[in-house]
Structure 1
């Protein structure tokens, strides 16, 4: 019995110091030399991954914009960018999980300070699936990671299966409209965006799908809406209770009065928390869109 306990102790010790090398979403080869016990999450887009993997006990710091801190005793480190590097260092993290985009410049700063950094910056259904698996490996729970990833994938595909046989010509024409200030300043998503993917999985036909931009996002004019005549318009809201205001920005714009989505009362609010960044809540986005479309 003592020999068995000794063997198990040795194996456990080896597993905690064995180095693994993984490629992050910036294409960096990152070495993880021990299972992280203290983790700082520098982007709220990442937190839900750790919740699904049941490793939130490792989180010692999050940004001021992370809802995780509302119900947990955890240190707030400030803004997403520029990061408060001194605050991050004071938490003595084994690993900092960070997004790409505007946060890319922070990666090199952290590395120069000797902090191990892994970038989680998915932009598609496939990226989310892969990141669940990768994070499972980082936290030494590969089986849990594979199961959560598989459940996520199967859940999305189950929704998509219900509308798979709907002919393209019978699918509602959909447009996602994000207004930056006024209706004359519109951003939308096309090929390369996870929101475009979600529209397709939910059985819609994105009128902007033939186009693309940075991560699939690009600006358009109101004329684009008039030319494409969407049956459904999706518009984000940013706080609870902001649904009506978001919808009215579209429905009160007189040039859109004859657009089918406006004319038929099919302008729908959708929480920015589902469309601002790609994470496993992608499945909730797909389910919500399917309800709107059908």
Structure 2
């Protein structure tokens, strides 16, 4: 929250003395100088594309990776990045994700390419990044307005969720995939992940909240899930219109079928593409989660 307030103060200051170059600190803690207003932007991760789309700056995107659903020239995989292709496009700015992409940032800098890392691990950090991108792209007031609207929206839901007694909150398990019959683990979200933040703000009690891993994601055993017996399952979908098939697969799983969530038919399927991205569009899922957890009450 303090960083968000600091960013808003920075916006007010920049509105009075707006000019490039500007210097910002990205999510990798790097100090980055933006020499001029970016007109040619490469989004080297799908999550970064979503920020520009949310700000209505799609026309600034000249290229994306093969994993993106935005129509633009392709630069290849997320890792390793295609340096030759990127250099040939002569971008003003490159947005990347953190984690496994961080080593690629060094390579980009060695080629004189201005690069900003966006790697939010909470809802508030997503809003911070929205404001940061707005500052970088020269639309700070628009970014501030959108961030404030999102914050007001999710806080309205969070306030309702806060009033639910702790012993009445639903226990939630997030399944990144449905394990096969011989697999004993499944990836989920834990402490330090933006998805855990969404679940908590929606009034859920994440069964993996005590654990963490890279960016807050980690594998947990099926035995642990059974021991916690969650009230609700959130399951990621990788294929459009596969909700019923996924529910059936979970219901017939030799281990998962014993769960309270399965017996009570409280399996909720969400598009994994958006679930996997810490972006402004995902903040709206807090309300969807709340409605699934408590029927919109």
Q: Calculate the TM-score normalised by the size of structure 2.
A: 0.88
Cα RMSD after superposing both structures: 1.7
Inter-partner Cα distance in structure 2 for 1:178 and 1:135: 28
- 1:241 deviates by 2.1
Q: Deviations over 1:67-108 (max 9, x none)?
A: 111xxxx31111111111121112110000111112112111
Map 1:218-233 → 2, pairs under 5 A: 218-233=218-233
2:43 matches 1:41:
yes
Map 1:32-111 → 2, pairs under 5 A: 32-69=34-71, 74-111=72-109
Q: Is the 8 A contact 2:94 2:115 kept in 1?
A: yes
2:214 matches 1:250:
no
Q: Deviations over 1:100-159 (max 9, x none)?
A: 112112111111111111111111111111111111111122111211111121121122
Q: Is the 8 A contact 1:48 1:279 kept in 2?
A: yes
Inter-partner Cα distance in structure 1 for 2:110 and 2:70: 28
The DSSP-based 3-state class of the residue aligned with 1:174 is strand
Of structures 1 and 2, the one with the larger relative CO (CA 8 A, separation 6+) is: 2
Q: What's 2:205 paired with?
A: 205
Q: Is the 8 A contact 1:179 1:185 kept in 2?
A: no
Q: Is the 8 A contact 1:251 1:267 kept in 2?
A: no
Larger Rg computed on CA atoms: 1
Q: Is the 8 A contact 1:180 1:187 kept in 2?
A: no
Map 1:100-249 → 2, pairs under 5 A: 100-179=98-177, 181-182=179-180, 183-249=183-249
Q: Deviations over 1:153-205 (max 9, x none)?
A: 11211222232211111111111122375252211222111111111111111
Q: What's 1:5 paired with?
A: none
Which deviates the most, 243-252 or 18-27? 243-252
Inter-partner Cα distance in structure 2 for 1:209 and 1:181: 21
- 1:55 deviates by 1.7
Gaps of 5+ in 2: 1-16
Q: Is the 8 A contact 2:238 2:272 kept in 1?
A: yes
The DSSP-based 3-state class of the residue aligned with 1:254 is coil
Q: What's 1:277 paired with?
A: 277
Number of residues paired by the alignment?
Answer: 276
Inter-partner Cα distance in structure 2 for 1:53 and 1:178: 29
Q: Is the 8 A contact 1:233 1:266 kept in 2?
A: yes
Which deviates the most, 182-191 or 270-279? 182-191
- 1:34 deviates by 0.7
Which deviates the most, 104-113 or 48-57? 48-57
2:274 matches 1:262:
no
Which deviates the most, 154-163 or 178-187? 178-187
Q: Calculate the TM-score normalised by the size of structure 1.
A: 0.89
Q: Is the 8 A contact 2:23 2:34 kept in 1?
A: yes
